[in-house]
Amino acid sequence: MDLRTALLGAAQASPEPLTAAQIKKRAKVPAKPTALKVVLDDLAQAGMLHAFTSGATTAYSAAHPQELAASALAEIVSKLVGAVSPASLKAQLPKSLRPWFDKAAARLVVKGRLWWLISGKTRLLSQTPPRPSDLLSKTQTAALEKLLVQVNQSRQTPRKLAELRAWLDDERPAAEAVSTKPIVACPKAALTVEQLLEWYAADRARSSSSMIPIPHTWRRYTAWAEANDLQPSPDNFRAMLKSLYDEGRVILEPCERPQDLPESERSLQVSMAFGPPGYYWSVL
């Protein structure tokens, strides 16, 4: 194996940019620094490597560091539990990729893989979209708890903070999660394009991205169906989205890590003309 091939292979195998010395060590080839730099610079000029200089140090990578940073950050975000500060998230990237953190994070935000949580002066990043109740500060939450104590003195049925938060989030409290209403067959005409677009608009108004996860819309559909004593139909739901996609009225985008999705969400994905099925959708 010649020097050029060995150095290129070592750079291509790395998930982050490497200096000339690091590439030489991984390639396990004898080469003087001058010759090493000549070959690497030649590969960069040929478009086979990207060269980036910071001060007196030059690093090389097969892919653009911004692409490497986005890929590495997506992997980190997929394992997030709860919200973290941008500084904490950035610190989990390899040092050589941290200069591209902001652009990588922005890309994930646009794709709906990363969400900003802003409460007062605090800015956090989360793998899941924020709920309205997440925007309550500790001071506001304490004030609401105090208010409930006062109001409950005049109520026959006391209310809890969890119920108020569920109302803010347009959700049912856990105690009401199991419906006792009879369920009947849901006719195909129960779901309309207008309803889908209305639910999309509601989610889009709360999102920093135009790409909305299909399971979010599905939850709105099931809540609507149960409120009307109907059985939600995943087949009708997917067929309606597929029809809008085939007509060119919406665009779909796959999930980057479908293997991490629960079965309930994998089953809601909509097939596309090419590639894996769509997990996100956006109205054109």
Do 189 and 245 share a domain, yes or no? yes
Whether residue 114 contacts residue 82, with contact meaning beta carbons closer than 8 Å, is answered with no
**Is residue 230 in a domain?**
yes
Whether residue 170 contacts residue 134, with contact meaning beta carbons closer than 8 Å, is answered with no
| Nearest-angstrom CA–CA distance, 122 and 267 | 36
Do 202 and 279 share a domain, yes or no? yes
| Nearest-angstrom CA–CA distance, 202 and 170 | 11
Asked if residue 234 has pLDDT above 70, the reply is yes
Last-in-domain residue among 36, 61, 86: 61
Structural domain span for residue 116: 65-130
Do 218 and 279 share a domain, yes or no? yes
Q: How far is CA 98 from the centre of its chain?
A: 19
**Is residue 174 in a domain?**
no
**Is residue 173 in a domain?**
no
Q: How many domains does the chain have?
A: 4
Last-in-domain residue among 13, 40, 61: 61
**Is residue 90 in a domain?**
yes
**Is residue 74 in a domain?**
yes
- Report the pLDDT value the prediction gives residue 212, as an integer from 0 to 100: 93
Name the average pLDDT for the chain. 81
At position 250, the amino acid (one-letter code) is V
Tell me what percent of the residues of the chain surpass a pLDDT of 70: 90
Structure token pair of residue 12:
């291509």
Specify the pTM: 0.41
| Res. 95 pLDDT band, cuts 50 70 90 | confident
Do 11 and 79 share a domain, yes or no? no
Asked if residue 229 has pLDDT above 90, the reply is no
Q: Can you give the CATH number for the domain in which 47 is found?
A: 1.10.10.10
Taking only the tens place, the pLDDT of each residue in 104-118 is: 888 888 888 888 877
Do 185 and 277 share a domain, yes or no? yes
Q: Mean per-residue pLDDT for 23-28?
A: 84
Q: Mean per-residue pLDDT for 53-81?
A: 81
Do 272 and 188 share a domain, yes or no? yes
| Res. 186 pLDDT band, cuts 50 70 90 | very low
Q: Mean per-residue pLDDT for 1-26?
A: 82
